Amino acid sequence: MNYRSNKVLAGHLAMLTANVAWGLMSPMSKSVMMGEVSALALVTFRMVGAAGVFWLTSLWLPREKVPRKDLLLFFVAALFAIVFNQGVFMMGISHTSPINASIVTTTLPLITMLIAFFYLKEPITWKKMLGIAIGGAGAVIIIVNSQLNAGGVVGDRHLLGITLCFAAQFSYALYFVLFKGLVSRYSPVTLMKWMFLFAACCYLPFSWQQVSVIDYSALPAATYGNIIFIVLGSTWLTYLLLPTGQKYLRPTVASMYNNVQPIVATVVAVLWQLDVFNGLKALAILLVVAGVYLVNQSKAREAGQG
């Protein structure tokens, strides 16, 4: 195996590991929030914990100087990539099932493409339009299935949860499109240590009361284990691995690994009896994956890569 093949293999392993960790996050977060830890408290644990770990990591690496104007950009980027993405997504999970939330994450490439069309004037081909339509059908199935199975007030809560998860994907898609230049100028650790610090500062004033009233001595060991994994595995590790995948793989290939998340979340959620898998959810996954695949194939051909 030559040097280039090793780098490509490293990219595949990085994206696979990152998306498995993100897939595990949905059922783990749901499990934590079924106790006395609220969604806002869990988000705060994630923000503060990740900020602390990234700053500790930066002590072992060469220091990058960040101008004040870029610090302001880091703050705005943190709003889109973390505060309105990860925080809102976690709150969405608290209102719907882990499987529903993970299926919604696979719509990210579709949403990114639409934003790029309006903001960057990237053309939309017939294949992209077909991909959007198929992926949108999968999203509608998720909503209808949740409403029919739950009904009444519970159904409304599922709809709220799914809507929040969609909003989180929209926010992250804006981050992808608007801050591509900023991300390329700094190392992942420098970028994330500032962004998670700003995100933690945004959440703490609103969540401190919920964090302080938790009876930590009564929390089971499994809850602590899940929180530690969410901070270290689904946040710190994934944000270190993501640039490796982006560097050594084509964007079309790297983004397809996003479809690993609902598979992992579904298996774990069913095993932990946090959710029930049915035929409509399977159809929704297939439609969303097919939609993303069509969009990515169209992008690859435009770039001369397919």
* Domain boundaries, position 291: 3-302
Report residue 176 as tokens.
Answer: 């992808």
Task: Report pLDDT for 153.
Answer: 46
CA torsion angle for 164, 165, 167, 170 (degrees, to 10)? 180
User: Is there a contact between 101 and 271 (Cβ–Cβ < 8 Å)?
Assistant: no
Task: Report pLDDT for 99.
Answer: 76
Helix (H) / strand (E) element for 231: namely helix 221-231
Task: Report pLDDT for 250.
Answer: 63
Cα–Cα distance measured from residue 57 to residue 163, given in angstroms and rounded to the nearest whole number: 35
pLDDT, one tens digit for every residue, the chain (306 residues):
566 677 778 888 888 898 899 889 988 998 999 888 998 999 999 999 999 999 999 999 998 999 989 999 999 999 998 899 888 888 888 888 787 787 787 777 777 777 777 776 667 677 777 876 787 677 677 666 655 555 544 556 778 888 898 898 888 888 877 887 787 788 889 989 999 999 999 999 989 999 999 999 999 999 999 999 999 999 999 988 877 776 777 655 666 677 778 778 878 887 887 777 777 778 877 887 787 677 666 654 554 443
E strands present in the chain: none
- Classify residue 240 as exposed, middle or buried by CB count within 10 Å of its CB (0-12, 13-18, 19+): middle
Work out how many domains the chain is built from and give that number. 1
